[in-house]
Chain A
Amino acid sequence: MKSYRIMATALRALRRNIMRAALTTLGIVIGVAAVIAMMEIGRGSSLAIQRTIATMGANNVLIFPGNAAAAGVSFGAGSILTLTPSDAEAIVADCPSVAAAAPIVRARTQLVYGNRNWVPNTINGTTPSYLDVRDWKASEGVAFTDHDVRNASKVCMVGQTIVRELFNGESPVGREVRLQNVTFKIVGVLAGKGANMMGQDQDDIVIAPWTTLKYRVTGSSATTAANQGTTVVASSSLPSQVYPNAQLSLYSTPSSVQQADTPAPVRFANIDQIVVAARSAELIAPAMDEITSLLRERHHLKPDAPEDFIIRDLTEITKTMSSTSELMTKLLLIVAMISLVVGGVGIMNIMLVSVTERTREIGLRMAVGAQASDILRQFLAEAVVLCLIGGSVGILLGRATSLIVSLTLHWPTATSLGAIIAAVAVSAGVGVIFGYYPAWKASRLDPIEALRYE
């Protein structure tokens, strides 16, 4: 008997008792719908939880300059100047597992507003990417821009603690504060984050463009500032621009020896730290590998040379996060399995009843020439068709449920293709497994007995 005939026969048999077929398949419908809805709502919650934990810095990787050592004496982490802001830019550009990276320049100094002063816990010079890396938002005002970083603009953002201490909780946006006699305009206020896991107040913070902090506050020197200015002026008044058609050169070009003898003033652009956000918790390890090889290449390290930087992740938080999501997934899986087994037992129950009820039909089919295998396949096909129909309806119902939940309760949900595929596979599997016994029983019937059955 060909397979499409088996299917057609199964469908015809199911259509003959459509109500019973519908009720039978209800178990699978509810089972699969529960699986899909649970998976989608659960995955949504799990993602939301992960996102929350990620704001604690679970996705973050920290890079510090390495330690210098001379004659066997180590000078501790950060004692050599190897990290540059362009390292941070290169990490974002070249490492696919990295979502964002920000350079950090630290300072510790007094912040003055009017007649008040306060020494913030953290003063970070950085780029706007810092907010992406830390998953931090401005609660008021705006963040400073990349343009501000390039121009070393005197702007900054402050945390909630600063607002409380210096401004008595009034809005500080637009006000001016001083850091070591440099006046900064406050453009934004950071949202409250509270203490971190070590009990350190994370809101006691000022962030400003790293260029401003480095060249105007901590490492300010007249020569570098002056040189910066003259370079700009000189470049805009080159003879070729003043006299575009003239080919003359006012000054002789210095030879390479001359250039080496009189080096242009170097602007030190070393930074204290780079913070990196991996795209997800799973991508932390690949991100660290990518960053390590990139920085080794950028720092021209020989293959056997030790690294001149230190790279760390926040293992403790990451572990919390991955164990949380693992737990959620397992829990959902168990719930799903239970409901599918219940649905499967329901199908088996009804198929057994159906075999008894259709004993005469089975006898007749055998009398007109159906072999045991034909009967087995027919009943198996019925069970599988029931389960597949139930599975499809269940998928729709489950998706609808999760949609309703996300629309009415505003719970986060996430579509899970895996759950849909698994639900279909499992419902077909349930059909085969729980349909096999009744089908086998039907195929073992003796046609003489079956025909006489009342």
Chain B
Amino acid sequence: MALLDLRDVRKTYHLGEVDLPVLKGVTLAIEKGELVALMGASGSGKSTLMNILGCLDHPTSGEYWLDGREISGASTDERAMLRNDLIGFVFQNFNLLTRTSALDNVTMPLNYARVALHETAMRARAEKLLRLVGLEERMDHHPSQLSGGQQQRVAIARALVNQPRLLLADEPTGNLDSRTTEEILQMFRRLNETEGLTVILVTHDPNVADHAKRVIRIRDGLIEDQNAAVAAQLDWP
């Protein structure tokens, strides 16, 4: 069974009297271990789909199966728990806590875990992840003392700290220069290949999408194209 399975998902916003359908029946399956790019122009429903995939929002109708559970009807608190258990988020603007060390930033989600870890275990796990993203020298640095790429790497470590099934990256390279973009994307690929992590890159940048093994294009609230392979994949080193 697919890790993530959307069946005829619709989302309609109500703006006063007017109904505004944003997703008009999305059917989509993503297997465990995939590296997927979700592409679409602004206003295409890309962000709404991402919010639903990330359990931040619930669909108006349709089914959403995540890790073998149907969760389209989950309550706010249940969704919070699902996010904590299953999903790691990476944002365009990093969203790190200011004046807080990289280490504390990474351990932060563990505070909300259902199974509370001991302080030392939390620390050990965060240190391991910071080492994984190559920041073992900067664990005590505050975000303001880190470059954009380093900040995004802290954010990736934070997304991984709960050992999620799914890493959801929303324009992860939107605020980075081309060289760091390459670094971060390499990191996603490495995580995907060595750890078997399922990654969804939400982007409008074709260069970023080129790194994915599969590109899903959304347009006007509908999946336009979900080709299994990308030409660029052949060029991977």
Contact = CB atoms under 8 A, between A and B. Distances in A.
B91 A451 contact: yes
Interface string B94-116: 01011110001000110111001
Given A1-B112, A9-B111, A368 B99 contact: no
Given A369-B80, A448-B56, A17 B99 contact: yes
A363 B99 CA distance: 17
A369 B158 contact: no
A371 B95 contact: no
Interface of B: 51, 54, 56-57, 76-77, 80-81, 83-85, 89, 91, 95, 97-100, 104, 108-109, 111-113, 116, 158, 162
Given A1-B112, A374-B112, A451-B95, A368 B57 contact: no
Contact of B80 (A5, A9, A370, A451): A370
B96 to A, nearest CB: 8
A447 B56 contact: yes
Interface residue tally on A, bucketed by range: 20 to 34
Contact of B111 (A5, A17, A364): A5
Contacts of B95: 360, 363-364, 451
Given A369-B83, A369-B112, A372-B76, A448 B158 contact: no
Contacts of B109: 368-369
Nearest to A8: B111
Contact of A366 (B80, B85, B99, B104): B80
B58 to A, nearest CB: 11
A367 B56 contact: yes
Closest 7 CB pairs of A and B: A369-B84, A368-B109, A16-B99, A369-B112, A371-B80, A364-B95, A370-B112
Chain A residues touching B, majority SS: helix
B77 A371 contact: yes
A369 B162 contact: yes
Contacts of B57: 448
A441 B54 CA distance: 24
Contacts of B80: 366, 369-372
Contacts of A410: none
A361 B100 CA distance: 12
Given A371-B81, A447-B56, A451-B91, A365 B108 contact: yes
A442 to B, nearest CB: 14
Contacts of A448: 51, 56-57
A371 B56 CA distance: 12
Contact of A369 (B99, B100, B113): B113
Contacts of A364: 91, 95, 97
A351 to B, nearest CB: 18
A451 B162 CA distance: 20
A62 to B, nearest CB: 71
A2 B110 CA distance: 12
Nearest to B170: A451
Nearest to A4: B119
B89 A368 contact: yes
A369, A372, A451: residue with the most chain B Cβ atoms closer than 10 Å: A369
